[in-house]
Amino acid sequence: MSEANASPLGRSHKQINEADPIAANYQNQIDAIKTGDIPVLLSDLADDVVYMPPAEMTLTGKKQIEDWWRDYFEYFTIQDFETTERIIDVVGDCAVERVLFSLKLIPNKGGTPIYDDGRFLTVWRRQPDGTWKIWQRIWNSLKPIGAGTNRFLMRFMQRPEE
């Protein structure tokens, strides 16, 4: 990444509590984001999951989230995703995960790559069978609205001229 696109999040730092019950799940999610593997992205979701993407409506349930990912991957390919900080705190049957990240998006219908930095706050909930599922997730971009990371803006920009 060029200096102009360097992460404002600072140097790379990963802090994981010794007891990190979701490390493998997190890595599976990141791998799936990079490959656009929607079934894997959905596999770690609780049935009553809530997603709150930046500048969009709240999504509830796996079906809405599946539709959102399908639409997102129609417009973008996530070429690079780097976790610059990750902190986990387990409280009872919940794990609270705070992540800072940098990514590179490729617009699928042409255009220059988009570099973004952002944050996730995810609450994972332990299931009765002992597995962990994403229950609540909110994230944001550190780029201003209009920087090209919003899929609805991309639709508008790619509309044929009338």
Mean pLDDT of the chain: 84
Mean pLDDT of 71-90: 94
Q: Which of 108-112, 137-141, 146-150, 152-156 has the lowest mean pLDDT?
A: 152-156
Given this model, what pLDDT does residue 161 score?
Answer: 55
If one looks up domain 20-156 in CATH, what number appears?
3.10.450.50
SS3 118: strand
- Tell me what pLDDT residue 63 has: 98
pLDDT at residue 13 tops 60: no
Query: What confidence tier does 143 reach under pLDDT thresholds 50, 70, 90?
Result: confident
Contact 121/137 with Cβ under 8 angstroms?
A: yes
Whole-number percent of the chain with pLDDT over 90: 67
- Residue 100: what pLDDT? 97
Q: What ranges do the domains of the chain cover?
A: 20-156
**Residue-wise pLDDT tens digits, 15-41:** 444 579 999 999 999 999 999 999 999
Q: Are strands 45-52 and 114-126 parallel, antiparallel or unpaired?
A: unpaired
In the chain, beta strands by DSSP E? 45-52, 59-60, 76-91, 94-107, 114-126, 132-141
The mean per-residue pLDDT over the stretch 76-93 comes to: 94
Lowest mean pLDDT, pick from 24-33, 69-78, 132-141, 148-157: 148-157
pLDDT at residue 160, rounded to an integer: 55
Answer whether residue 57 shows pLDDT above 90. yes
pLDDT for 118 equals 94
pLDDT at 19: 74
State the pLDDT confidence band at 66, using cuts at 50, 70 and 90.
very high
SS3 99: strand
